[in-house]
Amino acid sequence: MDYDLWWLLAVPLVFGAGWLVARADGRAARTRADALPAAYLRGLNFLLDEQHEQAIDEFVDIVRLEPENVALHFALGKLFRDRGETDRAIRVHQNLIGRSDLDPEQRVKALHELGQDYLKAGLIDRADETFQRLGGSTYSERALRQRLQIAQTVRDWQLAIELAGQLQQEQGADRASEIAHCHCELAQAALEQAASQPGEREQHLAQARAAIDAARSADAAHPRSWLLRGQLGELESDPAAALAAWQTMVQVGPAYLALVAREFVAAHEKLDRVAEALAQLETIAAQHPSVDLFGAILDARAKRDGASAALEWGSGALLAAPSILGYDRLNELRLATELSESERNECEFTRTLLRAQVRRLSRYQCGHCGFKARRFYWQCPGCNRWDSYAPLRSEELERG
Ligand SMILES: [Zn+2]
């Protein structure tokens, strides 16, 4: 049974009280009240057996007999929603709100339930409107959190920043990194637009810069704003600025260098400082093993020293720290070199053999809900948590 429905166990108390009153009122009322607990218990039993449809039938019957029983209307509405019957849930809660005998606390509860019905039904605008009406009530904080969730789902980052700020101010909850992420989402969109719309490039770069600055003001210790500041530097053809930002990112979160390892090498190449990049990548890779760092080092070495020297380095590194993903990168580089036909066949065969494993081990994984994805996410698409992905592939996560 749904955890939230356990409060239904308290409903017999309501019946109990009604039943006692009914006994005092006489025989006719007693007949009706006697029937109620039995029907209620049948409904509860169905619920415990996960037979939701039969439970609903029982509760609908009781509600017909006891229309004034508000607790049951709430239980029924929630059951409908949990079953995906959002139209019926909405009707139940709208009827409740329309009742004149409802006390103010029950009314805000019904509004909150209605907001959740709309949300489940995908009626986002109506859900947001309903939650807005709960401002200043005992459901204010919950409604604000739900509005924040909606704003993030529809990617209205400006509104999300406002709502997270309001929550932080009103509830004293620390939302700094969430606010920084929202600014970063705006920055990332502006950077993408700057790259894809050359005509409005300057305007988008300025927007990105402002959003990155705001993210840093919200939470300077988070690696994401520094990572984006580096990418802004790259787009502005300023590799020194890009590297300065990424160096700060390495201070606050060295493992995140894996996400920009190739750009990190490229910026060093532009400044003729490849040796420095390699030394730093190898130091970080020793502490935070990552196939992305390994691949960036391998390619940079191949470019500087030639493929065979790079392959020799790569084989040695893999012997010290075996990795299927690393071995696949090595084979990829090997295939780009001069090989005899039999060597080439063997190399291609090995890659084919490992393809499914490589695909599985390359995925990123949410540390909270386990959602796996081919690309890295700052906010999990499965559970909506921020920072629940480590910048590591499954193979590295499994190795611990
Ligand atoms: Zn998740």
Are residues 390 and 340 located together in one domain of the fold?
Answer: no
In the structure encoding, which two tokens stand for residue 284, read together?
Answer: 């970080």
Are residues 293 and 368 located together in one domain of the fold?
Answer: no
Would you say how long the chain is, in residues?
400
Assess contact for 201 and 187: CB atoms under 8 A. no
- Of 152, 167, 182, the residue at which a domain comes to its end is 167
Question: What residue type is 392 in one-letter code?
Answer: L
Bridge partners (DSSP) of residue 386 are 379
Q: Tell how far the Cα of 376 is from the centroid of ligand 1, in angstroms.
A: 12
Assess contact for 138 and 108: CB atoms under 8 A. yes
| Residue 354 confidence (pLDDT) | 96
Burial (CB count within 10 angstroms: exposed 0-12, middle 13-18, buried 19+), residue 101 = exposed
Q: Between 104-120 and 140-153, two packed helices, what is the crossing angle to 10 degrees?
A: 10
Are residues 309 and 383 located together in one domain of the fold?
Answer: no
Question: What residue type is 171 in one-letter code?
Answer: Q
Q: Tell how far the Cα of 375 is from the centroid of ligand 1, in angstroms.
A: 13
What would the pLDDT profile of 166-218 be if each residue is shown by its tens digit? Answer: 999 887 778 999 999 999 999 999 999 999 998 999 999 999 999 999 999 99
Q: Tell how far the Cα of 126 is from the centroid of ligand 1, in angstroms.
A: 26
212: in domain:
no
CATH number of the structural domain spanning residue 337: 1.25.40
Q: Tell how far the Cα of 255 is from the centroid of ligand 1, in angstroms.
A: 20
- Collapsing DSSP to helix, strand or coil, 373 comes out as strand
Are residues 14 and 142 located together in one domain of the fold?
Answer: yes
> Considering its fold, how many domains does the chain have in total?
3
| Residue 16 confidence (pLDDT) | 46
CATH number of the structural domain spanning residue 145: 1.25.40.10
Are residues 299 and 397 located together in one domain of the fold?
Answer: no
Q: Tell how far the Cα of 379 is from the centroid of ligand 1, in angstroms.
A: 8
Q: Tell how far the Cα of 30 is from the centroid of ligand 1, in angstroms.
A: 52
For each of the chain's 400 residues, which pLDDT tens digit applies? Answer: 444 454 455 555 444 444 444 444 444 444 555 555 677 788 888 878 888 788 878 877 777 777 778 888 898 899 899 989 999 999 999 988 988 888 899 999 999 999 999 999 999 999 999 999 998 899 999 999 999 999 999 999 999 999 999 999 887 778 999 999 999 999 999 999 999 998 999 999 999 999 999 999 999 999 999 999 999 999 999 999 999 999 999 999 999 999 999 999 999 999 999 999 999 999 999 999 999 999 999 999 999 999 999 999 999 999 999 999 999 999 999 999 999 999 999 999 999 999 999 999 999 999 999 999 999 999 999 999 999 999 999 999 988 6
| Residue 70 confidence (pLDDT) | 86
| Residue 33 confidence (pLDDT) | 52
Residue 103 dihedral angles phi and psi, to the nearest 5°: -80, 160
197: in domain:
no
86: in domain:
yes
189: in domain:
no
184: in domain:
no
Are residues 371 and 319 located together in one domain of the fold?
Answer: no
Assess contact for 74 and 113: CB atoms under 8 A. yes
How many CA atoms lie within 13 Å of 46's alpha carbon, on the beta-carbon side?
16
Are residues 347 and 367 located together in one domain of the fold?
Answer: no
Domain with 310 in it: 265-362
- Of 137, 167, 197, the residue at which a domain comes to its end is 167
Q: Tell how far the Cα of 364 is from the centroid of ligand 1, in angstroms.
A: 11
Assess contact for 241 and 233: CB atoms under 8 A. yes
Q: Tell how far the Cα of 372 is from the centroid of ligand 1, in angstroms.
A: 8
Residue 366 dihedral angles phi and psi, to the nearest 5°: -70, 130
- Of 167, 184, 219, the residue at which a domain comes to its end is 167
What would the pLDDT profile of 281-320 be if each residue is shown by its tens digit? Answer: 999 999 999 999 999 999 999 999 999 999 999 999 999 9
Query: Which residues contact residue 141 at a Cβ distance below 8 angstroms, ignoring those fewer than 6 apart?
Result: 167, 170, 171
Are residues 349 and 374 located together in one domain of the fold?
Answer: no
Are residues 380 and 296 located together in one domain of the fold?
Answer: no
186: in domain:
no
Q: Tell how far the Cα of 82 is from the centroid of ligand 1, in angstroms.
A: 21
Largest distance between two CA atoms of the chain? 100
Q: What residue has token string 């029982």?
A: 58
Are residues 9 and 115 located together in one domain of the fold?
Answer: yes
pTM reported for the whole predicted model:
0.81
What is the spatial distance between Cα 229 and Cα 224, in angstroms, rounded to a whole number? 9
Assess contact for 107 and 131: CB atoms under 8 A. no
Q: Tell how far the Cα of 371 is from the centroid of ligand 1, in angstroms.
A: 5
Q: Tell how far the Cα of 297 is from the centroid of ligand 1, in angstroms.
A: 31
> DSSP letters along 276-303, please?
HHHHHHHHHHHHS--HHHHHHHHHHHHH
What is the spatial distance between Cα 307 and Cα 6, in angstroms, rounded to a whole number? 65
| CA-wise closest residue to 12 among 92, 69, 76, 82 | 69
What is the spatial distance between Cα 48 and Cα 5, in angstroms, rounded to a whole number? 10
Are residues 11 and 160 located together in one domain of the fold?
Answer: yes
Region class of 366: left (phi > 0), else alpha (psi between -120 and 50), else beta: beta
Radius of gyration of the chain (CA): 30
Burial (CB count within 10 angstroms: exposed 0-12, middle 13-18, buried 19+), residue 54 = middle
> DSSP letters along 306-320, please?
-HHHHHHHHHHHHHH
- Collapsing DSSP to helix, strand or coil, 389 comes out as strand
What is the spatial distance between Cα 386 and Cα 157, in angstroms, rounded to a whole number? 14
What is the spatial distance between Cα 208 and Cα 185, in angstroms, rounded to a whole number? 10
Are residues 157 and 285 located together in one domain of the fold?
Answer: no
Q: Tell how far the Cα of 41 is from the centroid of ligand 1, in angstroms.
A: 37
Question: What residue type is 237 in one-letter code?
Answer: S
24: in domain:
yes
Assess contact for 36 and 58: CB atoms under 8 A. no
| CA-wise closest residue to 111 among 67, 73, 143, 145 | 143
329: in domain:
yes
| Residue 54 confidence (pLDDT) | 82
Q: Tell how far the Cα of 175 is from the centroid of ligand 1, in angstroms.
A: 18
